[in-house]
Amino acid sequence: MENNTRRNFIKKLGASVGAASVVGGASILSSCNRVETVTGDTIQLLTSSGELVEVDRSMLKPADLPSLSENQKRGREGIPGKSWVMVIDLSKCRNARECMKSCQNHHQLRPEQHHMNVLQMQDSEHTAPYYMPKNCQHCDNPPCTKVCPVNATFKREDGIVLIDNERCIGCRFCVAACPYSARVFNWFEPKDAEKYEGVTYNIEANVPQKKGTISKCLFSADRLRDEQLPTCVSACPNGVYWFGDRNEDAVTNGTTKETVSFSKLVKDNAAYTLMEELGTKPRVFYLPPKDRAFPFQGEIDDHHA
C-alpha cells in the first residue's frame, strides 16, 4: 500500500514537471496541490526540450489566450471576395534575382534570408538547365497550419497563408511540416532593427521581424490591400510573374502589366503545381521552361539543382 502511494506521488510529480515545460499555449498546468484524483485519462504533451511526456488530463486547465488586436483580426480575415493565385513562367527567368532583392527589402530580411529563391534546375543530364523561382505555395491544404500548437500560422479566406509573430513561439513545427522548404527561422536580430523601434507590428507584411520566430513569403498581403501587385512580381524585369484573382479569372504580368485569363493561361501552356501528388493544392502555378526566351548562362550549380 505504501509503495502504491509513493508511486502515485512520483507519477503526479513527474507529470507536473513535464507539463509545466510544455511549449505553447494549448493548455496550462493546474496547481499540483489542487489535483485530488488521477482520472486515468492521459494526454501526450511536448516539453521545451523536445520530449513527449504523458500527463493526466485532470492536471491541465484551458489557457486564457489574449484577445486578438484589430490589426491581427484584419490580417486573419483577408480581403473579401478574393482568391489570389500566382503563375511563374519558367521560360522567361534569367536569374536577374530582382524578385529576391525587392522581397528582402520589403520584409526586413537579412542577406542570408529569402522568401523567394531562384534555383538552378536540370531535369536530367540530357536536358537543358533552367532557372526556377520558388516561394511559399500558399496551399489550399497546408500541412504547416495543421501542426502549429498556438494558431500562429493560418490560412485566410482569400487563399494566403500568413504568420502572426505576436503568437509564434518558434517551435519550428511548421518548418518541418512544409514539403517546399519555404519557411525560414529568425536566428538573429533582424536587419535594421533600430529603424523599426516603436513601429506597430504589421501581420500582413510580417514586420518588424522578430528574433526566434518564423518568416516566409506572404504574397505581399499588405500591398494587395492597397491594390498593388506583390513586390516580387513588380520588380521582375523579364515578365516571369503573373498574379491575380482566380475568382475573376484574371492575372496580370508584373513586367508588361498585361492582364489575361488565368484559366486560359494555365491550360494553353500546360501549367503544373509542385508535388501535386501530396495533395497540398498549391496556389502557385508553373509554366514549363519551353522555348526559353534567354539561353541559360553559366554552369549548373549542383548545390541548387
What whole-number distance in Å separates Cα of residue 269 and Cα of residue 290? 9
Considering the chain, what is the average pLDDT of its residues? 85
Same domain, 283 and 144: yes
Asked, for residue 294, whether it belongs to a domain, the answer is: no
The domain boundary, picked from 38, 62, 86, lies at 62
Split into its structural domains, the chain has a count of 2
Same domain, 10 and 104: no
What whole-number distance in Å separates Cα of residue 260 and Cα of residue 186? 38
Same domain, 180 and 79: yes
Give the DSSP letter string of 177-240: H-TT---EE--SPPTTGGGGTTPPPBTTTTBS--TTSEE---TTHHHHHTT---HHHHH-SSS-
What whole-number distance in Å separates Cα of residue 233 and Cα of residue 252? 9
Same domain, 235 and 179: yes
**pTM reported for the whole predicted model:** 0.78
**Residues of the domain holding 203:** 70-287
Considering the chain, what percentage of its residues have pLDDT values greater than 70? 80
Measured in whole angstroms, the distance separating CA 133 from the mean position of its chain's CA atoms is 16
Which residue reads 484584419 in cell numbers? Answer: 74
Q: What is the pLDDT of residues 165-189, one digit of tens each?
A: 999 999 999 999 999 999 999 999 9
Q: What is the pLDDT of residues 240-286, one digit of tens each?
A: 999 999 999 999 999 999 999 999 999 999 999 999 999 999 999 99
Asked, for residue 238, whether it belongs to a domain, the answer is: yes
**For position 58, what pLDDT does the model report?**
80
Same domain, 160 and 53: no
Query: Which is nearest to 7 in space by CA: 38, 29, 30, 33?
Result: 38
**For position 22, what pLDDT does the model report?**
46
Same domain, 209 and 106: yes
Same domain, 8 and 144: no
Asked, for residue 237, whether it belongs to a domain, the answer is: yes
What whole-number distance in Å separates Cα of residue 139 and Cα of residue 278? 11
Same domain, 33 and 164: no
Same domain, 92 and 227: yes
